[in-house]
Amino acid sequence: MKTPRFLLTSVSMLLLFLFLTPLLCFAQTESTPPIVPPTPPPMPAPLEVAASDVPNDGGSAIRVSWQFPNELEYPPVGFEIFRYEQDGSNQSIVKVQSLVREYIDTGVTNKLPYSYRVQAIYRDSTGRETAVSAEQSQPASAHITFFDFTKINLAIITLILLGAILGYIFYAGRGKEMTIRKIAGVAAIEEAVGRSTEMGKPVLFVPGTQDMDNVQTIAGLTILASVARMTAKYEARLDVPVSRSITMSTGRETVHEAYLASGRPDLYSDDIVHYITDEQFGFVAAIDGIMVRDKPAACIYMGAFFAESLILAETGNGIGAIQIAGTAMPTQLPFFVAACDYTLIGEELFAASAYLSGDQRAIGSLKGQDVGKAVAMLLILFTSLAGTVAAVTGGGAMEKVYQFLWRLTAASF
């Protein structure tokens, strides 16, 4: 009989299936770990929040600082700082980025106590923000400092320089004779004016392109006074185009006084010093036009110049004028050196007025400048030597000397 055996086998299989299936399901349930909610990432609060007066200031700032771990898996998006006043009222003053650990609060009133609270701001994946706050800091107040001690080295150097310059000025003022070396460019000014007189052509004087708030313009006008005395003496025509209105007014006063002092007020005219334009290249174009049309025999450029320096000097060279330039713009000096007959380099521009005026006190100030130069040279020399010795010997005491000298030199020169 084949059928009962088949049935028996089928029933057995069915029973086995029915018996094993729950077992298998149970076994599977047993091996799956239980579902637990995810642990939220740590959100630490800022630590050691401290407030202190910012030293060497005008009493209008308090420094707020705090500690915070740098190696967080989920760092905060930033920090918010709250300022607490004496009466307990508070306000949020700023939100800073997460890498910041210090903030200078400049919105405080001198001598009033303030305390601060810093809170870290965390943002989850849904954009929801959570703020974790630190303890409020101890109160601090801002105090006025009457001397910025971070500039003590600069103050020492300034005092030495001022002392030297003033000392020599007063020394010369007591009638002591001072001599300075001949400056070729300055000596050539009289020659240039004389040449213009002989040729019956004007002297062109450009006192730079900057306003009266630039000391180079003032130095230029000082030289203009001497040039005007010469043109008055030789009866040469003087032409002073300027690019600033205030320079025009000052230049007129200067030239007028020079003509008066030379006893030739009749030769003076307001048109000698005339305004052109404040625009740099418009000014250059106008002067180039004057040069090409009037062909001055002498072109004198004294003051602050920028890109126009070479355009002016090359045009002057093209018309065959004797050219004397002076500027304290280091970038323009090569152009003047290349295109002019004489160039007053940097400090010579400032020395020229003293040289031309012959005023002993002014010459004395130049001697004071020399003391400043000697101090600069000695400081640079000693700093270099100390640095070299420190590098060769591997530091030690010489390294400290070098660091001190370096700070002193870097701050002063």
Within 10 angstroms of residue 86's Cβ, the number of other Cβ atoms is 11
Tokens of 262: 């030379």
Residue 379 DSSP one-character state: H
With respect to other proteins, which residue has the nearer C-beta, 99 or 144? 144
Question: Is residue 120 packed enough to be buried (19+ CB in 10 Å), middle (13-18) or exposed (0-12)?
Answer: buried
Contact set for other proteins, span 310-349 (CB under 8 A): 310-311, 313-314, 317, 328, 330, 333-335, 337-339, 345-347, 349
- Give the interface segment with other proteins, choosing from 72-80, 87-95, 184-192, 268-276 (CB under 8 A): 268-276
Contact set for other proteins, span 354-413 (CB under 8 A): 357, 359, 361-362, 365-366, 368-369, 372-373, 376, 413
Binding mask 285-304 for other proteins (x = CB under 8 A): x---x---x-----------
Which one of residues 11, 187, 253, 404 is an interface residue with other proteins (CB under 8 A)? 253
Question: Is residue 371 packed enough to be buried (19+ CB in 10 Å), middle (13-18) or exposed (0-12)?
Answer: middle
Contact set for other proteins, span 133-192 (CB under 8 A): 144-148, 151, 154-155, 158, 161-162, 165-166, 169
C-alpha pair distances (Å), 87 with each of 59, 64, 84, 105, 113:
21, 20, 8, 19, 10
Contact set for other proteins, span 74-133 (CB under 8 A): none
With respect to other proteins, which residue has the nearer C-beta, 47 or 410? 410
Q: Are 216 and 244 in contact (CB under 8 A)?
A: no
With respect to other proteins, which residue has the nearer C-beta, 51 or 362? 362
With respect to other proteins, which residue has the nearer C-beta, 57 or 80? 57
Amino acid at 403: Q
Tokens 């400090």 belong to residue: 347
With respect to other proteins, which residue has the nearer C-beta, 41 or 173? 173
Residue 182 DSSP one-character state: -
Contact set for other proteins, span 189-248 (CB under 8 A): 211-213, 215, 218-219, 221-222, 224-225, 244-246, 248
- Minimum distance from residue 51 beta carbon to other proteins (Å): 19
Which one of residues 188, 240, 284, 300 is an interface residue with other proteins (CB under 8 A)? 284
Contact set for other proteins, span 42-61 (CB under 8 A): 56-59
Q: Which helix (H) or strand (E) holds 356?
A: helix 347-357
Tokens of 123: 């943002």
Determine the Cα–Cα distance for residues 101 and 281; give it in Å rounded to an integer.
49
- Minimum distance from residue 206 beta carbon to other proteins (Å): 15
With respect to other proteins, which residue has the nearer C-beta, 236 or 329? 329
Within 10 angstroms of residue 286's Cβ, the number of other Cβ atoms is 16
Determine the Cα–Cα distance for residues 160 and 368; give it in Å rounded to an integer.
10
Count of residues that bind other proteins according to CB under 8 A: 88
With respect to other proteins, which residue has the nearer C-beta, 65 or 247? 247
With respect to other proteins, which residue has the nearer C-beta, 267 or 310? 310
Residue 95: φ, ψ to 5°: -115, 125
Cα dihedral sign, 343-349-355-357: positive
